[in-house]
Amino acid sequence: MKDEGRRQKSKIQNPKSQIVCLAGGVGGAKLADGLARILPPQNLTIIVNTGDDFEHLGLTVCPDLDTVMYTLAGVANPETGWGRAGESWVTMAEVSRLGGPDWFSLGDLDLAAHLTRTAMLRDGEPLTAVTRHLCQKLDIKHSLLPMCDRPAPTQIESDGRILPFQEWFVKERWQPPVTKVILPEDARATTAVIRALENAGLVIIAPSNPFVSIDPILNVYPIRAMLMDLPQAVVAVSPIIGGQAVKGPAAKMMQEMGLPVSARAAAEHYGELLDGFVFDVQDAGQLDGANVAQLSVDTWMRAQEDRVRLAQDVLTFARSLAVAT
């Protein structure tokens, strides 16, 4: 874990009230929503994974940005977590009938965001500005930032094959075993991301998949170095509850990569980055003896009120770390 002496000295000099949340898809969106219901817009910035982004049917699709955006706007599909509530699928059914690529489903309402985004990008607007525009139109007051403006695609290596992320995740239903997650070497953070981290007093890593949602963000230069060196408390929330991922492939990936499927293994994955770790009561005792501040609470966000409760627990814990040092 981080060097104690350095942290203690720097936190005393750092009374900053900004909070940054690093988020991927559905789990990240839920915690971000909880935080947004507690914190005023000027105090919260959500930095979102864009490693899942790809071009489909000629459109730029940003699944994690849209999942967080729709969740904060209160228009997310409650069943899937991604896409829009009350969606219709007329266009996709016709794409299918015409023999087009229908393995990735874009709903009619959702298509409006992809069309608008793609048009703005083609006109030369950076993804950060496009995201700000879409958020304004959806009446989202908090800042949502893509981790970078240029494409930074995640790829999956599986038994010698290299698969673009969505082909692995959606087309092949994340079944090919993961040998390695390949992240780009040249991804650079935007000025907006750097400014948000410079002004942050706390960084919260949401309970998103550590390998394909959070690592792609940390891989963007200089985000990992800033979390290590700048005077923030960094607190992660476990994506693993009782030896299972709430949603998605995190547990399966841990197994395939030879890791124990546990909250402790998730904390150890983040290692030196962390000042604190929040994990579920079901896993109480699992981090005994670990050199990181810990909080064990109910982390399962089933309903809206759970998001706010967990966000409040995480904030109180993270702030206590900043005060204690």
Q: What residues make contact with ligand FO1 under the rule CB under 6 A?
A: 24-25, 52, 61, 63-64, 66-67, 82-83, 104-106, 110, 166, 169-170
Q: Shortest approach of ligand FO1 to residue 46 CB, angstroms? A: 15
Q: Which is nearer to ligand FO1, 182 or 228 (CB)?
A: 182
Nearer residue to ligand FO1 within complex by CB, 104 or 300: 104
Nearest approach in angstroms of CB 49 to ligand FO1 is 8
Render 218-233 in DSSP notation, one character per residue. Answer: HTSBTHHHHHHHSS-E
CB of 52 to ligand FO1, least distance (A): 4
207 Cβ neighbours under 8 A, 6+ residues apart: 27, 28, 31, 237, 238, 239, 246, 299
Q: Name the residue nearer to ligand FO1 (CB basis): 34 or 249.
A: 249
Q: How far is the CB of 301 from ligand FO1 (least distance, A)?
A: 16
Strands (E) located in 269-324: 276-280, 293-297
Minimum gap (Å) between residue 43 Cβ and ligand FO1: 26
CB-based contacts of 35: which residues, under 8 Å, 6+ apart?
19, 21, 44, 46, 204, 311, 314, 315
In terms of CB distance, is 169 or 317 closer to ligand FO1? 169
Residue 285: CB minimum distance to ligand FO1, A: 30
Structure letter (DSSP) for residue 249: S
Measured CA distances, 182 to 161, 246, 273 (Å): 12, 24, 21
* Pairwise CA distance, residues 143 & 153, whole Å: 23
Nearest CA-CA partner of 300 in 221, 246, 234: 246
| C-beta nearest to ligand FO1: residue | 25
Residue nearer to ligand FO1 on the CB measure, 236 or 315: 236
- When the beta carbons of 85 and 194 are compared against ligand FO1, the nearer one is 85
- The Cα 101–Cα 300 span in angstroms is 35
Distance separating alpha carbons of residues 254 and 210, to the nearest angstrom: 10
The nearer residue to ligand FO1, 33 or 52, going by C-beta atoms, is 52
Nearer to ligand FO1, 228 or 257 (CB): 257
Taking the complex as a whole, the smallest distance from the CB of residue 206 to ligand FO1 amounts, in Å, to 12
* Long-range interactions of 249-258: CB distance < 8 A, separation 24+: 249/169, 249/174, 249/178, 249/209, 249/212, 250/209, 250/210, 250/211, 252/174, 253/178, 253/209, 253/211, 253/212, 256/177, 256/178, 256/179, 257/178, 257/211
The minimum distance between CB 29 and ligand FO1, in angstroms, equals: 9
Structure tokens at 254: 């841990």
